[in-house]
Structures are given as structure tokens and as C-alpha cells.
Homo-oligomer: A and B are copies of this chain.
């Protein structure tokens, strides 16, 4: 297991972590600059932030600041009420693949989607269908189509199993076991064209955590996300904790993923209204401190 206590060489900042400061949106260009000034080596940007900045400008800024990417957030959201809807989502995922390639991302993170119509403009609402087996089949079909395209571009897809509390609205792939079964189905040769983003927040509770991480193997371990689970959690989406403030034994999970050969970035992805009310400096300083002591 790597010693991370000396510096923040292996910290990556998911740009959602510093999406806001003092409650106000922060432009992606300012986020990139702030990270670079702090000696942070990698980021993982979101599509909406990249679109607002402009894809080419974002790619240029990343290059000129010498930043690496630990991922690109995100593809997925496949389920739809009909075939045309699913195809539209697949087409959108191909655009996300293209963007990830332009930005030089090592993988596109895939959040499968929940039930059709349950997430509109980022807001959860009552879905158009309750048919979960069908929604899961659509997610698999959408991923297969995206994978065919991503392979032609040489870009790996990273399935991120999300916590079961998001099954209805955001992601119907909810355990590592389920995600790995899907990898086996879509890529029986274990080529590494499709793998897993392990986010501690989503998987820490799983009684099969150690068993399933041991099943991933180095080729499929594409990303490692960190934050913490607060007790109590007052908001399902935006009450994530800074590493060390909650109940997840993050170092023990890092030990498991590194035992599989993972040697990449620990990506801090913290959706938190409380932290978004502070300054960008405070958030980044806390991430830098905590990656050394609590990751």
C-alpha cells in the first residue's frame, strides 16, 4: 500500500467538489487554475462544466497547466420509455466519448441511469415507468453500444455502481457484483475496455466489498473515488463528507484496491452544500490535508 502521508501527488480533484464557493458557481477555468496553484496534479471534470467553458478551451487549459485527468464525468443515463429515447441517449454517450478523448481522459465514467424519466435537469421526479428489470436491460444495451464506439476510439468505460438509494433516479447498477457481472457480459475477454470506478461512498456498506474488489483485477480498476459517509446524512445527494469526517474506513478500501494493482489517483468527489458554502481554497486545502491523513 502506498504511503500518501508525505505529499498530495496522488490526489485528484473531481471538479464537482469545488463546483461552488460561498454558494455561487465557480467557472471551470478558475477551478483548473486553483488546482494548479495548489500543486494538484489531476482533475476529473464534468460535462456541464466543460460545455460552459467550451471543450477546446478546457482541453487547452488542461494542457497548458500540465494537469492530468483521472476521469471524465460522465456518460450513462440510458433508460428511456421507448427505443428512440434509448438511441438518443446512446448518441449522447458517443458525444461524451468524443469529449473525453479531446480532453485526454483515461476513462469515461458511466452512471447507468435509474428508471426512465426519473431524472430531469438533474432533479429527481416520479418516473415514467417502474419496470426496473427493463431499465436495467436498457442500461446494459446502452453500455454495449457505447462500448463498441469507445473501443474504436481507444477509450475505456468505467461503470460506477451507485449506492442503492440512487437506484430509482440515477443509477440502477448498485453493487460491485452487479457491475462486474455486466463487465463479464460485455467484455468476456477482460480486455480492460470496460471496467469499474470504485467510489467509497457508494460501496463501503457492501458485505461483499472485499470479495468483489478482489474480483476486479488491475485491468478493470479504472478509477478510485473518495469522500465520506456522514452520520446522520441529512441530504441523500449533497451531504457527503470530507475524508475522515464520516464513518468510512477509507484506508482499508484503498488497501483493497491497491492489492489489485491500482496505483492511480485518489479522486476526491464531494457533493456537499456545507463545503460549497466555503471558499475554493478551503475546500482544496482540506482535500490536500485529508488525502495525507484519512485516505
The residues of A with any CB-CB pair to B shorter than 8 Å are 115, 118, 123-127, 130-132, 136, 163-165, 167-169, 172-175, 177-178, 204-208, 229-233, 236, 246-249
Contact = CB atoms under 8 A, between A and B. Distances in A.
B207 A249 contact: no
A174 B204 CA distance: 12
Contacts of A232: 123-125, 169
Contacts of A132: 204-205, 249
A177 to B, nearest CB: 8
Contact of A205 (B167, B177, B208, B249): B167
A205 B178 CA distance: 12
A172 B204 CA distance: 11
Nearest to A249: B130
Given A131-B249, A132-B249, A248-B130, A207 B231 contact: no
Contact of A165 (B175, B233, B248): B233
A24 to B, nearest CB: 24
A124 B168 CA distance: 24
Given A126-B231, A165-B165, A175-B207, 14 more contacts: A115-B247, A123-B232, A124-B231, A126-B230, A126-B246, A126-B247, A127-B247, A130-B247, A163-B165, A167-B204, A172-B205, A173-B207, A174-B205, A177-B208
A204 B178 CA distance: 15
Contacts of A127: 231, 247
Contacts of A236: 165, 233, 236
Contacts of A207: 136, 173-175, 177-178
Contacts of A164: 163-165, 205-206
A173 B204 CA distance: 13
Contacts of A168: 205, 229, 231, 247
A147 to B, nearest CB: 20
A27 B173 CA distance: 42
Contacts of A124: 231-232
Contacts of A247: 115, 118, 126-127, 130, 168
Contacts of A130: 247-249
A232 B118 CA distance: 9
A169 B131 CA distance: 30
Contacts of A115: 231, 247
A69 B164 CA distance: 31
A137 B211 CA distance: 17
